[in-house]
């Protein structure tokens, strides 16, 4: 995303004063150089705060005491976006902001709140074209799984003083666990390994899986209704043969389903309506036989249910006993904790430790105790696996009981259909009027069955949903993501080697890469071992690999069709490993015993810092001036002399204002 910093702006608390403005060029290395205590290191915190950070990291003291609003003006192509945020005063941060999107870079002298932090973040997310989809497909349970935001991109834009030479942390704010876990999701996203389409596919997959669950539940309800109708039709089939609606020669088969029973009953009803009643011999006896057979099946199901319930009770009792026994074993194990120490001391002598008598009884007793402790350990180990086994048995037994209860209920419902309560009822069945009445009931039942939803439409929907689910899962093949990630990291590693050579790092010949898992730099040695940055000595290596990694990442981002990462990089004090305290030409602070030495052009420290600026200017050239770099440092002009570097301001005594102008302090 071609977004650079046009200005950093401070609005004073006092009336009648002009805003303090620092203007930067978009296509070069911008440098603000100066002595310590002038406000250089606060610039990253100011930009970060104006871009919506959760906390204000601007130093407490002179800056907060004199500034009312902190702002940054971004250049977005041919537009300028001004974002300003009120001084938090005594709070962690302020939610009051001013936002201005214009075609000119005008800066208002007085600000009045017209937005809040959430509105500004939403606008920045839209500008970065970030998807409104969580990394887990729209079902994020943790903040680090939430959708990528513009705020996450700050990890690639800022290298403050405590990060730029840190061997343990590569990215801005990645020194906290929450930010690290979020960045572990964001880094593959900005590398193109996780695409927007992939995130949308993951969300669609979750929607399909939820839809499938609902469809299957609905289908199961329909099938339960069909099963009830099936059992009723089975019972009515026997009765229909008994009263002559169905020919006694028709025998149901084990393979018959509901459609076969419905077909046989429908033919019988049609014959009855035509005046044909087939009351054959032996149909009543056949009905009784069917009732007897069904009764036997009901009794067997009842016995199975009784055995299952007894088994459930025994398992629950055994589970309770195992828990209690395990607790007792743990208690006994604690009592034997000192056995090893006692045995070590007693085994060295045969004398009784209490009375001094020479014998081996103590050793024998300890041997017996050791056997007891060993056996207790073996039993305890076996008990450790008992809960899982018992839980599985308990779950399976309960499921079996539910199944048996359901089958028993259906069997008893069928028996009620078949049962002849009295001879009188049997006689009534034989009356012609009762036969026709029963035929009418059958006709109505069959009509209801014909009109009932058999679940065919649900079946089609389930098949279609499963087909789409399988296709989505194939698209989300993790191997594709790993391949894209490896390709991107390979490109970045090659570029890191280029910058390592300019910086003349100690292991410039070894392949360096970024570990997505650890969010760290690792360097491969000639013997195949990978060394992380914290395992490689020298602050020069640390800051060098930080610069190589960040410049390589931005070079990669700028080769993409679209990247949500703004095209600027702010570095604070990259020369600190060469001049940790101050620039030698700066005034001596109180407490320094020696006067400042004058640096020489052939000084190794000067040469080391110059390599840094050579690397930065080379990055500008390699990115066709699309990358903006802002450096705040106490190093002087001698380190970049002759290089295409733009000096924004120099904050040294007698050479103009510092971050807070002198006029604001009078």
pTM, full prediction: 0.65
How far apart are the C-alpha atoms of 540 and 543, rounded to whole Å?
A: 6
Contacts 24+ apart (CB under 8 A), 486-495: 488/191, 488/192, 488/193, 488/556, 489/191, 489/513, 489/514, 489/516, 491/556, 492/549, 492/552, 492/553, 492/556, 493/552, 495/548, 495/551, 495/552, 495/555, 495/556
According to the model, what pLDDT value does residue 133 have?
Answer: 74
Question: Measured between alpha carbons, how far is 166 from 479 in angstroms, rounded to an integer?
Answer: 33
Q: Bridge partners of 8?
A: 22, 72
pLDDT value at residue 70? 97
In this structure, are residues 168 and 451 in contact, taking their beta carbons and an 8 Å threshold?
no
**Predicted pLDDT of residue 118:** 94
- What SS3 class is residue 524? strand
Report CA 350 to chain centroid distance, whole Å: 63
Which residues share a beta bridge with 79? 76
pLDDT in tens, 3-13: 999 999 999 99
CA distances, 128 to each of 78, 83, 99, 394, 663 (Å): 16, 15, 16, 54, 38
Task: Reduce the DSSP state of residue 349 to 3 states and report it.
Answer: coil
Q: What pLDDT is recorded for position 222? A: 78
3 state SS of 467 = helix
Quick one: fold of 3-191+479-586+600-665? Rossmann fold (3.40.50)
Return the domain boundaries, the chain: 3-191+479-586+600-665, 214-466
Q: What does the pLDDT read at residue 411?
A: 73
Tell me how far CA of residue 281 lies from CA of 156, 227, 251, 293, 434, in angstroms.
93, 31, 14, 20, 19
* CA-based radius of gyration for the chain: 41
- Among residues 283, 302, 282, the alpha carbon closest in space to that of 294 is found at 302
Q: How far apart are CA 661 and CA 38, in angstroms?
A: 10
* β-bridge partners, 30: 630, 646
Q: Which ranges in 21-149 belong to alpha helices (H)?
A: 42-50, 62-66, 117-127
Residues of the chain with pLDDT under 50: 140, 421-425, 590-593
- Do 627 and 619 meet the contact criterion of CB atoms below 8 Å apart? yes
Spatial neighbors of 318 by CB under 8 A, at least 6 apart, are: 390
- The predicted structure's pLDDT at residue 349: 57
Identify the bridge partners of residue 645 per DSSP, sorted by sequence position. 29
Burial profile 530-541: b = 16 or more Cβ within 10 angstroms, e = fewer: eeebeebeeebb
| Cα–Cα nearest to 627, from 572, 524, 557 | 557
SS3 196: helix
**What pLDDT was estimated at residue 479?**
81
């Amino acid at each position: 995303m071609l977004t650079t910093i046009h200005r950093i702006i401070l609005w004073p608390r006092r009336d009648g004063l002009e805003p303090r403005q620092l203007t930067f060029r978009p296509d070069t290395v911008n440098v603000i150089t100066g002595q310590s205590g002038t406000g250089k290191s606060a610039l990253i915190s100011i930009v970060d705060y104006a871009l919506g950070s959760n906390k204000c990291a601007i130093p407490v003291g002179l800056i907060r005491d004199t500034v009312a609003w902190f702002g940054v003006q971004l250049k977005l192509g041919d537009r300028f976006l001004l974002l300003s945020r009120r001084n938090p005063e005594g709070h962690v941060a302020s939610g009051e902001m001013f936002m201005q999107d214009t075609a000119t870079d005008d800066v208002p002298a007085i600000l009045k709140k017209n937005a809040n932090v959430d509105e500004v973040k939403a606008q920045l997310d839209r500008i970065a074209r970030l998807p409104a989809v969580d990394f887990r497909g729209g079902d994020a349970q943790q903040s680090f799984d939430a959708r990528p935001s513009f705020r996450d991109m700050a990890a690639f834009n800022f290298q403050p003083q405590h990060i730029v030479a840190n061997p343990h942390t590569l990215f801005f704010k990645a020194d906290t666990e929450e930010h690290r876990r979020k960045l572990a999701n964001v880094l593959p996203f900005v590398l193109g390994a996780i695409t927007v389409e992939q995130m949308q596919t993951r969300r669609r997959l979750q929607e399909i899986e939820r839809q499938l669950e609902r469809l299957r539940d609905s289908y199961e309800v329909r099938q339960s209704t069909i099963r009830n109708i099936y059992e009723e039709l089975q019972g009515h089939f026997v009765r229909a043969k008994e009263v002559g609606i169905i020919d006694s020669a028709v025998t149901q088969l084990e393979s018959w389903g509901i459609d076969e029973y419905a077909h046989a009953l429908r033919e019988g009803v049609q014959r009855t309506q035509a005046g044909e009643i087939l009351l054959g011999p032996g149909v009543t006896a056949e009905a009784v036989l069917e009732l007897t057979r069904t009764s036997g099946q009901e009794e067997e199901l009842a016995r199975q249910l009784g055995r299952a319930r007894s088994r459930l009770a025994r398992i629950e009792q055994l589970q309770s006993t195992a828990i209690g026994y395990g607790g007792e074993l743990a208690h006994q194990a604690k009592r034997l904790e000192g056995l090893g120490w006692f045995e070590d001391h007693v085994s060295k002598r045969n004398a009784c430790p209490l009375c001094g008598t020479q014998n081996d009884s103590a050793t024998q007793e300890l041997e017996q105790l050791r056997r007891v402790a060993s056996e207790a350990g073996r039993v305890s180990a076996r008990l450790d696996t008992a809960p899982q086994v018992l839980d599985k048995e308990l779950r399976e037994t309960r499921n079996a009981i539910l199944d048996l209860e359901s089958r028993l209920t259906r069997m008893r419902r069928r028996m009620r259909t078949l049962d002849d309560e009295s001879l009188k009822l049997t006689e009534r069945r034989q009356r012609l009027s009762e036969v026709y009445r029963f035929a009418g009931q059958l006709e109505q039942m069959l009509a209801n069955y014909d009109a009932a939803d058999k679940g065919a439409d649900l079946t089609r929907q389930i098949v279609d949903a499963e087909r789409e689910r399988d296709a989505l899962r194939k698209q989300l093949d993790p191997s594709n993501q790993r391949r894209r990630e490896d390709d991107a990291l390979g490109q970045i590693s090659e570029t890191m080697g280029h910058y390592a050579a300019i910086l003349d790092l100690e292991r410039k010949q070894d392949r360096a890469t970024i570990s997505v898992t650890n969010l760290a730099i690792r360097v491969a040695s000639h013997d195949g071992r990978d060394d992380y940055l914290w395992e490689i000595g020298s602050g020069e290596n640390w800051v060098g690999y930080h610069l190589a990694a960040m410049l390589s990442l931005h070079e990669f981002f700028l080769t993409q069709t679209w990247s949500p990462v703004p095209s600027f990089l702010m570095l604070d004090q990259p020369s600190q490993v060469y001049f940790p305290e101050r620039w030698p030409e700066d005034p001596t602070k109180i407490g320094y015993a020696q006067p400042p030495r004058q640096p020489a052009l052939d000084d190794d420290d000067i040469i080391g810092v110059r390599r840094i600026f050579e690397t930065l200017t080379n990055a500008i050239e390699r990115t066709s001036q699309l990358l903006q770099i802002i450096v705040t440092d106490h190093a002087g002009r001698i380190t970049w002399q002759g290089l295409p570097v733009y000096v924004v301001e120099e904050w040294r005594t007698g050479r103009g204002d510092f971050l807070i102008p002198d006029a604001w302090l009078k």
